[in-house]
Amino acid sequence: MPTINVSFTEAQVIKMVLEFLAKRNMNIAMLSLERESGVINGNYSDDMLFLRQLVLDGQWEDAIEFIQPLTEMDSFDYKHFQYILFKHKYLELLCLKSESGNTQAYENMVDDIIKCVNQLESLCPTKDEFNSLCLLMSVSDFCSHQQFTNWNPSNARVECFNEVYPLVQHLLVKEVDKKKQTSNDECSTEDRLVQLLVKGLLYESCVTFCQKRATTNEDDEVDDDYDDYGQIKIPNLLSSGGCRDGDVSLVSWLQVSWYQLFDVFFKVVW
């Protein structure tokens, strides 16, 4: 039988999980996994990683100071960058204010909110946008507001970085040496984990189906292989049945099968 070599790294698996979590806004779990594993699903330059961490830590002023050298470039929209960061800082302060039970802390937050509003006045794209943000100060319970029912700082900070990333992506570029590229430079995209789960289920179904087809006569075909619509049954994702670990029987069988087996036209179906 031919030898089948399948190789992947733990980091690649983690990147697929990170992408899965990010696409579903499970950012608290995503950030915890990043911290524990040291893996990030993104091919960022060192400067971009540093900026990302500043934003995720809520160090708004430090983030703005860090990108000061970029303000000399005409292609950098510095005003919009500031607007995004100060808006997220403002929303976070409103959330903390509504949850604060300490009088002194409450007063300090109010002062910070007023400073933030003053900064936003000259940065907001429109007057209506500024007025809408100001109205939020009158909301006693920030998270009870319809627009922010599921709001939390972790999700908001990830969203903030995703908003500013396109503004600096072309300026904080990673130098790529194609000869030294490794799996660490690769990213999981297009819901790769879900793709593999679907393909894995289909593979398990094909193994069972082909095994029965190859070992039984046509007259002995079992209806249990099909669902009510005449389609091959797909196993439950958490089913412990199906293929054994590392089962490559179908691949091996196809590799040694006669060419006549492939006379039927192969059609790609999505």
pLDDT interval class at 56 (50, 70, 90): very high
Mean of pLDDT values over 228-243: 70
Nearest to 155 by CA among 41, 64, 249, 27: 27
pLDDT interval class at 217 (50, 70, 90): confident
The reply to whether 154 and 197 lie within a common domain is no
The radius of gyration of the chain's CA atoms, rounded to the nearest angstrom, is 27
- Give residue 177's pLDDT: 46
More confident residue, 102 or 131: 131
Total domains in the fold of the chain: 2
Crossing angle of the two packed helices 78-99 and 153-168, in degrees rounded to 10: 180
- Give residue 143's pLDDT: 81
Is residue 62 in a domain?
Answer: yes
DSSP 102: -
Last residue of a domain, one of 173, 208, 238: 173
Is residue 118 in a domain?
Answer: yes
Mean of pLDDT values over 134-156: 89
Is 19 a residue whose pLDDT tops 90?
A: yes
- Give residue 182's pLDDT: 56
User: Which two tokens mark 54?
Assistant: 């500043």
Range of the domain at 239: 192-262
